[in-house]
Amino acid sequence: DTAVSQTPKYLVTQMGNDKSIKCEQNLGHDTMYWYKQDSKKFLKIMFSYNNKELIINETVPNRFSPKSPDKAHLNLHINSLELGDSAVYFCASSQGPGSYEQYFGPGTRLTVT
Amino acid sequence: GNSVTQMEGPVTLSEEAFLTINCTYTATGYPSLFWYVQYPGEGLQLLLKATKADDKGSNKGFEATYRKETTSFHLEKGSVQVSDSAVYFCALEGSGGSNYKLTFGKGTLLTVNP
């Protein structure tokens, strides 16, 4: 059983389109995260939800909107995609916020052409 | 703000060589420190962690000691294997308040040759 799963694994789309990435965890965790990893492997947090409440919202363009319908799911919707949005997006989860191990999904490679 | 600096890669070693990947940090208070590993095509996995000064984290032959006096958390392994080839990330999590986020270093690519 996959602990943290993401769909799709690969996403190729054109500039200006709107797309969503879905994340699900079956670990019973309360906290979920979205990270962006650029082409140089640099990893930066974007958002975090705890019990469906947004607790971390980094400086991210408002074209990015996370949505957490329940504790097990955290989706990422991106409007008006730009070339610079091309990256690998990782979802993660942890028991709670604060020094708990984070479990990462396999990533979604987004390519904007 | 919090920041993590780790040695630039790539690092290329022969099997059974000694590994050190340096990591230093800047943070207020008493952060928790982590090493994560990313194998090719996969997400990150926690390798080890330390939550207070002088703690030593260890796993799979890797070790790192939380040194508050030098603000460092260097990763070491006495004898690397080909299967250790991966990208290694040093990270910290701030203490208290709303600091519930991991700040990562830029990652160090390790390649171990047979």
What are the pLDDT digits (tens) for B88-110? 999 998 766 556 788 999 999 99
Q: Which of B2, B44, B98, B103 to mutate to test the interface with A (most CBs of A within 10 A)?
A: B44
User: If DSSP codes are grouped into helix, strand and coil, which group holds residue B57?
Assistant: strand
pLDDT tops 60 at residue B68: yes
Residue of B nearest to A42 (CA): B106
Distance of alpha carbon A78 from alpha carbon A36, whole angstroms = 13
The pLDDT score that the predictor gives to residue A58 is: 86
**The tokens of A47 are what?**
């958002």
Report the phi/psi class of residue A98: left, alpha or beta, with left for phi > 0 and alpha for psi in -120 to 50.
left
pLDDT tens for each residue of A1-59 = 679 999 999 999 999 999 999 999 999 999 999 999 999 889 999 999 999 889 888 88
DSSP for chain A, written as a single string: --SEEEE-SEEEE-TT--EEEEEEE-S--SEEEEEEE-TT--EEEEEEEETTEEEEE-S--TTEEEEEEETTEEEEEE-S--GGG-EEEEEEEESSSSSPPPEE---EEEEE-
Which residues from A are below 8 Å from B38, CB to CB? 41
**Residue among A93, A96, A112 at smallest CA distance from A104:** A93
pLDDT tens for each residue of B28-61 = 888 999 999 999 988 999 999 999 999 999 999 9
Answer yes or no: do B100 and A56 touch at CB < 8 A: yes
The pLDDT score that the predictor gives to residue B99 is: 60
Answer yes or no: do B32 and A99 touch at CB < 8 A: yes
Handedness of CA A87, B42, B107, A76 (dihedral sign): positive
Answer yes or no: do B106 and A56 touch at CB < 8 A: no
pLDDT tops 60 at residue A81: yes
Identify whether the C-beta of residue B110 lies closer than 8 Å to the C-beta of residue B21. yes
Other beta carbons less than 10 A from residue B53's beta carbon: 12
Distance of alpha carbon A23 from alpha carbon A92, whole angstroms = 9
Closest in B41, B89, B100 to A48, CB measured: B100
